[in-house]
Structure 1
Amino acid sequence: MDAMRKQLDANRNADVEEVSRNYYDRDVCRLFLAGLCPHDLFQLTEMDLGPCSKFHSLQLRKDYEEAKSKGSESFDRELEDVIERLIVECDRKIQRALKRLADEDAKAAIAISVSQVTLTDEILQLSKEIKQKMKEADEFDFEGKSDDKIKTLEVVEELRSKRADMQATLLLDAFNKDRASLSLPASVPQIRPVPPPAPPNARTQEMINEKLKKAEELGGQGMVDEAQKALEEAEALKRTDQNLRLCDICGAFLSVYDNDRRLADHFGGKLHLEYMLIREKLKELQVNAYTLSASEVLGSE
């Protein structure tokens, strides 16, 4: 939170220093003005794009929003194009991984839709609350109320943690059913009891946990390349167990033997949260574009 406070102060200092700048200047980031610069996403992950070369200003975003509300400006289409490319790249990664798993073992290609399994009314309500709190945080940001923004973001983290735990429980239940179905040979009637499947090799699981812990530590130290290497090593170890699933939101590998804590870490992880964010933002932009187009058609009649 101290680091967040310093960043907020830096943003406001930049606003003070750049009072002569206009939101439509070429060196101002239009994507940031539209609500989401991809360079602010995926920091310290394999998708880290590094710092944005253009200027980010909260005051200029406010100026842009005022102009947009009057119908004189909109950078939504530019942002939509960028987000679509990120999502298409992620979806292609998921399809390649599914095909690779299918080539190795047909059972491993079974894909549980993480988004569908974890899409309950309670989860949706939490997501709505998180979105509202993020809007409040942005308002505090515009007003220069650092402490209020930080307190609001702390609430956001609590809500995200609660949502991650609930999603983990839902997915774990689905995995338990999945494991039960995988343990039944096709020739055996469903009513016949069978012993539960053996868990992955204990030593392999221990090595996977060590790699994941190392990746988290390296990421926290800003050592992105080293952290990515450790993650890749963990994923390689995971692939020794064929009972894998893919998250259809971020493309990460999950095992049907993952426990609730491991699944909660996944749902609360930065990569998953950022892909959730851009997928939700894309839907929002598409709905807004459709609404605007429909209103223009009605207005012309």
Structure 2
Amino acid sequence: MSARNAMAAMLDELMGPKRNVELGKDTTVTFDDPDICKYYIVGFCPHDMFVNTKADLGACPRVHDDNLRLEYPKSDKFEKLGFEREFLKFLSRLDEDNQRRIRKNLEKLKASEENGQKKEDLRKLRDEQEMARLDEEIKKCMAEAEKAGEDGLVAKCKELVEKAEQLGKQRAAIVERMNSNAPLPVPIDESQIKIMEVCEVCGSMLIKNDAQCRVEEHLSGKMHMGFSKIKVTIEELRVCLLFVRCDETFSVELERIRKRDEENEKERQKAREEREKR
């Protein structure tokens, strides 16, 4: 929002959306005034909820009138202007966008985990290849040691046997590690990577089993509380609109019965008048 628009919005809040109307002309603001934020009248304005977050909607282009907000529930127009339906549609769009963000982050996390599993499998394959290489080296050393012994080269034979024993220890260490399911050695940068998870409410990427203070900080954050409130409000609005539709249907049915009774009464009156004429 530009500085000019921000200033205009602030003046609207302070002086009302009709601040530029000529003196003497009607400046009354009504519920359905196009400059008034209907979401704020019904409950709350989502534009205020995510300021300076990844879900920031920007400043609301309409006026938040506290007086109209207080008057609306007492008005005979309450739940009859379609504001609740508009509010539900807007919140549902925000919730759908959030659900897409959650799915996207879950897919990213899954891809990351699969990539990590591939690295783990690759390390195991390398260990197996290393064991095969060590087996060949040990066989080679023992064969050369045997030949050196036959040739009377005692010192060389002893050296080759000791080398084979060292190679055998390396192989045994790999076998022990694989059999005990001990974590494979990883580079420092990989060992520092935290296990992540996706918040099912707001879609934020979180460190699994993080410190309690950071967990609480997230739960009390704008995005988490905002999308939690949106989800609860959507359910409340659906119930509210269900009752509104029931009331409307009941009113229509009452009106139909009233008109039918009037028509029947007219028919009876007409029949009485005809009998009296005879």
The CA distance in 2 between the partners of 1:16 and 1:104, in whole Å, is 51
1:94 CA drift (Å): 0.8
CA contact (8 A) 1:11 1:57 kept: no
Whether 2:215 is the aligned partner of 1:263: answer: yes
**Equivalent of residue 64 in structure 1, options 69, 72, 83:** 72
Q: Which runs of 5+ in 2 are unaligned?
A: 1-10, 20-26, 117-178, 255-278
Evaluate the alpha carbon distance shift between residue 204 and residue 85 of structure 1 in structure 2; reply closer, same or farther with a 3 A threshold. farther
1:92 CA drift (Å): 0.5
Identity within the alignment, %: 26
The CA distance in 2 between the partners of 1:53 and 1:11, in whole Å, is 10
The CA distance in 1 between the partners of 2:210 and 2:45, in whole Å, is 33
Whether 2:237 is the aligned partner of 1:285: answer: yes
The CA distance in 2 between the partners of 1:204 and 1:43, in whole Å, is 35
**Equivalent of residue 48 in structure 1, options 38, 56, 68:** 56
How do 1:188-207 residues align onto structure 2 when only pairs under 5 Å count? none
Evaluate the alpha carbon distance shift between residue 13 and residue 101 of structure 1 in structure 2; reply closer, same or farther with a 3 A threshold. closer
CA contact (8 A) 1:80 1:282 kept: yes
Q: Which one-letter code corresponds to 1:103 in the other structure?
A: A
Whether 2:88 is the aligned partner of 1:80: answer: yes
Secondary structure in 1 matching 2:75 = helix
Whether 2:18 is the aligned partner of 1:25: answer: no
The CA distance in 1 between the partners of 2:115 and 2:206, in whole Å, is 14
Structure with greater Cα Rg:
2
**Equivalent of residue 205 in structure 2, options 238, 242, 253:** 253
How do 1:131-142 residues align onto structure 2 when only pairs under 5 Å count? none
CA contact (8 A) 2:92 2:234 kept: yes
The CA distance in 1 between the partners of 2:17 and 2:61, in whole Å, is 19
1:296 CA drift (Å): 3.9
The CA distance in 2 between the partners of 1:289 and 1:53, in whole Å, is 26
Task: Compare relative contact order (CA 8 Å, sep 6+) and give the higher one, 1 or 2.
Answer: 1
Evaluate the alpha carbon distance shift between residue 276 and residue 99 of structure 1 in structure 2; reply closer, same or farther with a 3 A threshold. same
Q: Which one-letter code corresponds to 2:98 in the other structure?
A: C
Q: Which one-letter code corresponds to 1:277 in the other structure?
A: K
How do 1:126-275 residues align onto structure 2 when only pairs under 5 Å count? 240-241=193-194, 243-275=195-227
Evaluate the alpha carbon distance shift between residue 256 and residue 65 of structure 1 in structure 2; reply closer, same or farther with a 3 A threshold. same
CA contact (8 A) 2:13 2:63 kept: no
Evaluate the alpha carbon distance shift between residue 107 and residue 258 of structure 1 in structure 2; reply closer, same or farther with a 3 A threshold. farther
- Count of equivalent residues: 174
CA contact (8 A) 2:17 2:35 kept: no
1:14 CA drift (Å): 3.9
Q: Which runs of 5+ in 1 are unaligned?
A: 1-9, 109-187, 206-239
Whether 2:44 is the aligned partner of 1:39: answer: no
The CA distance in 1 between the partners of 2:225 and 2:78, in whole Å, is 33
1:93 CA drift (Å): 0.9
The CA distance in 2 between the partners of 1:48 and 1:290, in whole Å, is 31
Alignment partner, residue 149 of structure 2: none
Deviations along 1:47-77, whole A, 9 cap, x unmatched?
Answer: 2222211111111222333335655434001
Evaluate the alpha carbon distance shift between residue 71 and residue 269 of structure 1 in structure 2; reply closer, same or farther with a 3 A threshold. closer
Evaluate the alpha carbon distance shift between residue 297 and residue 107 of structure 1 in structure 2; reply closer, same or farther with a 3 A threshold. farther
Q: Cα RMSD (Å) of the superposition? A: 3.8
Taking structure 1 as the reference length, what is the TM-score of the superposition? 0.48
Secondary structure in 1 matching 2:246 = helix
Q: 91-100 or 285-294: which moved more?
A: 285-294
Whether 2:52 is the aligned partner of 1:100: answer: no
Secondary structure in 1 matching 2:206 = strand
CA contact (8 A) 2:102 2:203 kept: yes
